[in-house]
Amino acid sequence: MNLSAKGGGSGFNPVLIILGGAIVLVGGYLISLLAPSLFPVAASAEAGPIDQLFQVMLFLGGVVFMLVEGLLIVSIVRFRARKGETGDGANFNGNITLEVIWTIIPAIVVVFITLYSYQVWVDIRAPKDDELLIEANGQRFVWSFTYTDPLDRLAELNTQTFSDNVLHTYVGRPVRLKMYTSDVNHAFWVPTMRIKQDLLAGRETEIGFTPTVAGRYRVVCAELCGSGHGGMFTYIQVYATEQEWLERFIDPKVDFIVNPPSDPVVLGQVTLQSGRDGRAYPCSGCHVLDELGWAGVTGPSLNGIADTADRRAQSNGLADAADYIAQSIRHPNAYAVPGFNLGVMPQFGGEETEPEAVDGAYYMYMPTTDLINIVSYLCTQTATGDSACGDIDAITTAVETQSQ
Amino acid sequence: MASITVPMSGAQTAPRPKLSEYLRWSVDHKIIGTQYMATALFFFLIGGTLALLIRWELLTPALDFAATGSIYNSLFTMHATVMIFLWIIPFWAGIGNYIVPLQLGAKDMAFPWLNAFAFWLIIPAGILMLAGYFVGPAEAGWTSYPPLSVLFSGDGQTLWIISLHILGVSSILGAINFIVTIKNMRPESMGWFQMPLFAWAQLATSLIQILGVPFLAGGLTLLLLDRVAGTAFFDPSRGGDVLVWQNIFWFYSHPAVYVMVLPGMGVLSEVISVHSRKPIFGYKAIAFSSMGIALVGFTVWAHHMFTSLSPSLRIPFMVTSFIIAIPTGIKIFSWLATMWGGKIRFNSAMLFSVGFLSQFVIGGITGMMLGAIPLDIHMHDTYFVVSHFHFVLFGGSVFAIYSSIYHWFPKVTGRMLDERLGKIHFYVTYVSFFLTFFPQHIVGMQGMPRRVAEYAPEFQTMNIIISISAFVLGISTFIILFNMWWSMNHGKIAGPNPWRALTLEWQTSSPPPSYNFKGEVVPFEDPYGYGTEASRVYLDEMEKRLTPANLLGKTGDGGNSSEPMTGD
């Protein structure tokens, strides 16, 4: 067969070429139909164009796949040396027409997908009108999000923002996240919304998206950040309407700030869930605590922690359960719980706490009032539900002792 | 399917060097090449074991096999580092070292002493890398991003840095050697466009190495200083910038992937042409596309940073990443056109090259998808990326390595590998490879990030399928290792040219004498000139010249490999 002759020879049967081309194109099309099933549900406005771009690229990829694999299979079948055959193939080593074709056509495809991808990217990236601004914070190994009251009820107060470990928003409102990391690089990824953006140490980064379907969707850290990277996830709770979002999320949070409860146990519970001055404490990222729905994997479980603290206090030379719990927070590297490593839990220091010098550990500020409330709450984590610690004065003493 | 045309009966025509010669300093490129390849195969087993430990952990969504997340993180850190820097890159240096001087009709590389020195750097570097296990291994990924790699990685991270520095020096020295050898040591009649494409591939690879490795060295030095000397190159709280590492690292590490695949593409050009008994289609296009890929490869690096680079800077890298598909496509179509109209012998070497074609194209397609910024936003740092690079690095590079072993083992050892075992190896590897890595595209798109020991429970079924396939893939490695060990002494005698190939390495005994060629070196006018009367005449003439009687004649004695080069 002589490929340098135009169109002649059995290798260039026009019917076979058209048939082959049709098989390749139809095959590529059929492959592209798989695209929707490969993605999780689409829950954002951005997902639409992204999924469609993927489907087009899957079509193009499918065509290339069918073409290359098809030619391979045909070659294997048709040009296999038969048994006993020792001769060579035909001596041709080039064909300018073919080489031009398979340079130009890919170049055209490249131009097309460049322009198409560029257009999708510009649309996704463009700032939208009336964005809901939320601050996101990533740290090893928990997410926290900081909100302001849309009804501005906190204007007169010291605390103007509030935090939560879950991202709360509602359908149809564009969100813009301004993101910071407390330590190493992380990445914010919502698979159902197809958006991802790294959090970079020393920088503010941002990402915008618009949820379109109500529901609860996983948020995953997508940049290796250490031993608890796989466990660093949370959710985005998308309410169906703004009203629902206000009633079920914003209002209770504002109410807690405007009318703080006086019971230290209640204060402690909400502090654990919402943090202080807009920064959520990262406990839920590492610990299990069924009552609050925490499912962390990096640290010891806090279920029944007050009973455990009571048992351990004696052998550790501490006064009581409150003392143990306070020490575990103020000086986490003073005692290694069996099966866990030192230097992973942040040190939550107070106004006068001596920072510990342990490789890899780092420091967060937790004021004494917060710690008293948190210890009060954790003291109720017993088998019976009754506090294992004394009254508020005893707890305060324990906390102040450990705050040195 | 008989591919041996003239089995040489009787004794080996040139004795193989003794085992002890491989365990000590030698300036013979054939010994050095073998040393590189054996060392690389050893590290392949280590890297592979680490992979199986990873897959064992991933059988369940919880962290239960590895004691801590840190231990798990060190598994994939060391797996990737060992596979890239101690397996694939040194293996290509090894086979290149062995074959390129022979293909050019030369007695050795341009700088034999430097050649040995570059190899022997691998040994302390490898020891340092593994020594990390005694002090807490590196656990920040092979990409080693600060602040994680500065603040939260074991002392082994420092050893990792020093080891890579040493390996970088080795790469640069080897690259210099290849470039000078290829430029200066061809025979008179072998112009640039008459030399084998494997040499072109090694040339392009070497150019990448000398231009790119210094950047890695620079980045590694800054990281080392931050770790041990209290500097703040990557500490934002003291004026440093974490993105600087990412840019420097990827400026080298993207071209590094072409270092890993270009020699494999060179192998394909050799194997497909020889075993299809047809000239390579589009020689110049393939040669120029290798150089094109090397060049354009330096312009795409920030496609690894589509979620961290400033958004307004991302577009140019999408453009260049798409452009690099064109020279790659040219090669794939050229190889297909080489096979078309041939008389193809489907021996193990050919099977693995065809396997490369079929798997690498999938990796190329997913690479294009990742090059589109809106898609990469979803797929970056997920198992989709893991799948993509394993398709091009295993389905591509490792398949090409296997192909090169089946193709050139007869030349290196004088014995053929067992064909039945080779075919079993191919089919087991091909199927288990596909089942291990193809599903990873899907779990990645569904929401599973990479570098995690814990994952959402709905991904467990897929992960079990992947892990079981991975264990089969791991076992398949031993088929070829056993084949190599057994065939070394029991395989059919290969003779000088079992494949009746036209390139110069086949126009001498198997293995070659220490001085490579007896008498004048006569390259055929076209290293891929199959299907002509002239090529038949040449090969018949060579067969006559290379009979045992002639090879064992007046001065042919195999020689002591540490003596200076002699011979007619």
Cβ–Cβ below 8 Å for A196 and B381: yes
pLDDT tens-digit map of A370-381: 999 999 999 999
Query: What does each C-alpha distance from B223 to B218, B248, B390 come to in angstroms?
Result: 9, 11, 27
From the list B47, B33, B38, the residue with the least C-alpha distance to B394 is: B47
pLDDT tens-digit map of A271-323: 888 766 556 788 888 899 999 888 887 889 999 999 999 889 888 888 889 99
Listed by start position, the domains of chain B span 27-364+389-434+452-551
Burial of A10: CB neighbours in 10 Å, binned 0-12, 13-18, 19+: exposed
- Alpha carbon distance A188, A318 (integer Å): 41
CATH, range B27-364+389-434+452-551: 1.20.210.10
pLDDT at residue number A2: 40
Mean pLDDT confidence for B182-194: 95
Other C-beta atoms lying within 10 Å of the C-beta of residue B50: 20
Residues of chain A below pLDDT 70? 1-11, 275-279, 357-362
Residue to substitute from A196, A205, A218, interface B, most B β-carbons within 10 A: A196
Looking at residue A143, its amino acid is W
Cβ–Cβ below 8 Å for B528 and A93: yes
Contact B112, B520 (CB under 8 A): no
Q: Which two tokens stand for residue B507?
A: 């126009």
pLDDT at residue number B5: 43
Cβ–Cβ below 8 Å for B152 and A118: no
ipTM of this predicted structure:
0.92
- Alpha carbon distance A57, A49 (integer Å): 12
pLDDT at residue number B13: 55
pLDDT at residue number A9: 36
Q: What is the SS3 assignment for chain A? A: CCCCCCCCCHHHCHHHHHHHHHHHHHHHHHHHCCHHHHCCCCCECCHHHHHHHHHHHHHHHHHHHHHHHHHHHHHHHHCECCCCCCCCCCCCCCCHHHHHHHHHHHHHHHHHHHHHHHHHHHHHHCCCCCCEEEEEEEECCEEEEEEECCCCCCCCCCCCEEEECCEEEECCCCEEEEEEECCCCEEEEEHHHCEEEEECCCCCEEEEECECCCEEEEEEECCCCCCCHHHCEEEEEEECCHHHHHHHHHHHHHHHHHCCCCCHHHHHHHHHHHCECCECCHHHHCCEEHHHCEECCCCCCCCCHHHHHHHHHHHCCCCCHHHHHHHHHHCCCCCCCCCCCCCCCCEEECCCCCCCCCCCCCEEECCHHHHHHHHHHHCCCCCCCCCCCCCHHHHHHHHHHHCC
Those of residues 3-32 in B touching chain A at CB distance below 8 A are 5
Query: H/E element holding B428?
Result: helix B419-446
pLDDT at residue number B12: 53
- Alpha carbon distance B382, A135 (integer Å): 25
How many Cβ pairs within 8 Å bridge chains A and B? 279
Q: Residue B479: is its pLDDT beyond 70?
A: yes
pLDDT at residue number B567: 38
- Alpha carbon distance B137, B78 (integer Å): 8
Cβ–Cβ below 8 Å for B357 and A183: no
Burial of B544: CB neighbours in 10 Å, binned 0-12, 13-18, 19+: exposed
Residue to substitute from B246, B324, B332, B377, interface A, most A β-carbons within 10 A: B377
Q: Residue B124: is its pLDDT beyond 50?
A: yes
Cβ–Cβ below 8 Å for A184 and B152: yes
Cβ–Cβ below 8 Å for A54 and B375: yes
Handedness of CA B229, B242, B322, B436 (dihedral sign): positive
Q: Which two tokens stand for residue B101?
A: 């001087």
Please give the distance of CA A276 from its chain centroid, rounded to a whole number: 23
Contact A378, A302 (CB under 8 A): yes
Contact B503, B199 (CB under 8 A): no
- Alpha carbon distance A186, A222 (integer Å): 7
Q: What phi, psi does A339 have (nearest 5°)?
A: 95, -5
In b/e form, how buried is each residue of B66-93, taking b as 16+ CB within 10 angstroms?
bebbbbbbbbbbbbbbbbbbbbbbbbbb
- Alpha carbon distance B156, B135 (integer Å): 6
Listed by start position, the domains of chain A span 10-78+93-125, 132-241, 282-402
Flag whether residue B421 sits within 8 Å of chain A, measured between CB atoms: no
Please give the distance of CA B188 from its chain centroid, rounded to a whole number: 30
pLDDT at residue number B410: 97
CA distance B213 to chain A (A): 25
Mean pLDDT confidence for B171-183: 98
Q: Please give the share of chain B, as a percent, with pLDDT higher than 90.
A: 89
Does A89 or B25 have the greater pLDDT score? B25
Cβ–Cβ below 8 Å for B373 and A121: yes
Helical residues (DSSP H) of B82-196, grouped into ranges: 89-103, 112-135, 148-151, 156-184
- Alpha carbon distance B416, B235 (integer Å): 57
Flag whether residue B269 sits within 8 Å of chain A, measured between CB atoms: no
Contacts of B366 in chain A (CB under 8 A): 61
Cβ–Cβ below 8 Å for A57 and B375: yes
pLDDT at residue number B554: 46
Q: Who among B1, B68, B329 is closest to A227 (CB)? A: B68
- Alpha carbon distance B494, B509 (integer Å): 9
Other C-beta atoms lying within 10 Å of the C-beta of residue A243: 10
Cβ–Cβ below 8 Å for A196 and B380: yes
Is the full-model pTM beyond 0.90?
yes
Rounded to the nearest integer, the mean pLDDT of chain A is 89
CATH architecture of A132-241: Sandwich (2.60)
- Alpha carbon distance B131, B150 (integer Å): 19
From the list B83, B52, B80, the residue with the least C-alpha distance to B66 is: B52
Does B462 or A259 have the greater pLDDT score? B462
pLDDT at residue number A361: 56
Flag whether residue B279 sits within 8 Å of chain A, measured between CB atoms: yes
Q: Sorting pLDDT into bands at 50, 70 and 90, what band is B470?
A: very high
Cβ–Cβ below 8 Å for A93 and B283: yes
Contact A129, B352 (CB under 8 A): no
Provide the total of helices (H) and of strands (E) in chain B, helices listed first: 20, 0
